[in-house]
Structure 1
Amino acid sequence: MAHAKRSDVDSASLKASEDKPIKVDKWDGSAVKNALDDAVKKAFTEKFKYVESHKLMDGRLAISGIAVGAAMFALLWDYLHPFPESRPVLILCVNSYFILMGLLTLYTTFLEKGIFLVAIDRDPAGVDPDHTWKASSSLKRFDDMYHLFISFTDGVTNKTREAEFEKSISCWFDTNGTLLYDLFEPEVSKLHSSLLSDKKKK
């Protein structure tokens, strides 16, 4: 009897782990929200075959990285040039750090706006501009209502359309805290289809 190739076994194990139902503590709002957000990402990247863009996240990481770099430089400079000789550099680095933290707050508040997914719908022929999908969500503390907001920006007309829904998380989690993806995914697809229908009408 022929033995299965190791690569085949590994890929089968990986597929099984990916298909394994997501289980969370249903009393942990952050874990529940993250599980639903990940399910939205899965629908857009696996079902609709869109390409996830990380530019929005990269901007936040860049600001954070520069801020951490300023703090690390201050520590290094103070080590090489002990206080009070390092005082001017320390003041500059500390001020830079707080300014960057302020910029990060503005960035997350006015640019990210709770967006956890930016997906690009590329034209297969490469002729028309890319369409952009954005998804954001909210789940208030001690609340069971999950609010999903999706926007679609037409690459040709540059016009944006929006759709949203709000439902109790009990609709998609069983008593053990397992996410029922087969019940949640149609809700996401419904929003997706409504925005595409609006596109065809115009």
Structure 2
Amino acid sequence: MSNKSNKNEDNKPVKVNKWDGSAVKNALDDAVTAVLIKKYNYEENYSLIDGRLLLCGVAVGVAMFALLWDWLYPFPHSRPVLIICVSTYFTFMGLLSLYTSYREKGIFVVAVQKDPAGFVPDNIWEASSALKKYDDKYNLTITVKDGKTGNLRTGSFVRSVANFIDDNGHILHDLVEPEVAKLHSSLLTEKKEK
């Protein structure tokens, strides 16, 4: 029965407030992720998210340690430990900002294309997107790192979000999938030509 309910959930159209740019971008990102993971049967890699969680976890751990230390040894005695903890916390918050700006770069999914035979190294697919505030242009960029050669190939498209959403705010997966598939196949064709 649970398998049947999962199929119903997958077929249920996603509805968003079409005037909320952030919600629209996230819903379109989820639709692109579904194409890469479900249609092409790639394996999702969570290492980018794990890195962010690690930085956040250490920062929260330092803050909790400072709170506990201050509770056990009230303020005048806990001053040096609090200074160290506050400095460490802000250092990790700075590292987190650098990580999200220069490492993640808007990447919302990392998918691994495994070789069925297991002889060729895995190809890594990364999808990132941008949707500026008060703009309707959804910019999708897909990058593939060839496991064999290490070469990077990038493709992108810019489309109005109106191409993928109906009047009621439902994401039209039937319109998202062909665009992503066209971009995906163009990146594969580039590989064969080289």
Given the two structures, how large is their TM-score scaled by the length of structure 1? 0.95
Please give the alpha-carbon distance, in whole angstroms, between the structure 1 residues aligned to 2:5 and 2:119: 39
Q: Which residue of 1 aligns with 2:179?
A: 187
Runs of 4+ in 1 over 6 A off after TM superposition: none
Q: Which residue of 1 aligns with 2:12?
A: 20
Please give the alpha-carbon distance, in whole angstroms, between the structure 2 residues aligned to 1:173 and 1:97: 42
Please give the alpha-carbon distance, in whole angstroms, between the structure 2 residues aligned to 1:68 and 1:197: 46
1:19 Cα offset (Å):
1.3
Tell me which amino acid in the other structure corresponds to 1:168.
Answer: S
Structure 2 residue 54 is matched with structure 1 residue 58:
no
| Aligned pairs (5 A) from 1:67-78 | 67-78=59-70
Structure 2 residue 59 is matched with structure 1 residue 85:
no
1:41 counterpart (33, 36, 58): 33
1:11 Cα offset (Å):
2.4
**Secondary structure at the counterpart of residue 85 of structure 1:** helix
**Secondary structure at the counterpart of residue 163 of structure 1:** strand
Tell me which amino acid in the other structure corresponds to 2:116.
Answer: P
2:190 counterpart (179, 189, 198): 198
1:150 Cα offset (Å):
0.5
Q: Which residue of 2 aligns with 1:149?
A: 141
Tell me which amino acid in the other structure corresponds to 2:70.
Answer: D
1:17 Cα offset (Å):
1.6
2:152 counterpart (150, 160, 165): 160
| Aligned pairs (5 A) from 1:78-117 | 78-117=70-109
Q: Which residue of 1 aligns with 2:131?
A: 139
Please give the alpha-carbon distance, in whole angstroms, between the structure 2 residues aligned to 1:120 and 1:200: 19
Unaligned runs of 5+ in 2: none
How many residues in Structure 1 have an aligned counterpart in Structure 2? 194
**Secondary structure at the counterpart of residue 71 of structure 1:** helix
**Secondary structure at the counterpart of residue 156 of structure 1:** coil
1:18 Cα offset (Å):
2.0
Structure 2 residue 104 is matched with structure 1 residue 122:
no
Q: Which residue of 1 aligns with 2:161?
A: 169
1:184 Cα offset (Å):
1.1
Please give the alpha-carbon distance, in whole angstroms, between the structure 2 residues aligned to 1:177 and 1:54: 29
Please give the alpha-carbon distance, in whole angstroms, between the structure 2 residues aligned to 1:155 and 1:18: 31
1:13 Cα offset (Å):
2.0
The alignment-based identity, stated in percent, is 58
Q: Give the aligned CA root-mean-square deviation in angstroms.
A: 0.7
Q: Which residue of 2 aligns with 1:5?
A: none
**Which whole-Å deviations, capped at 9, do the CAs of 1:25-74 have from their partners, x for residues lacking one?**
00011110000000011001100000000001100100000000000000
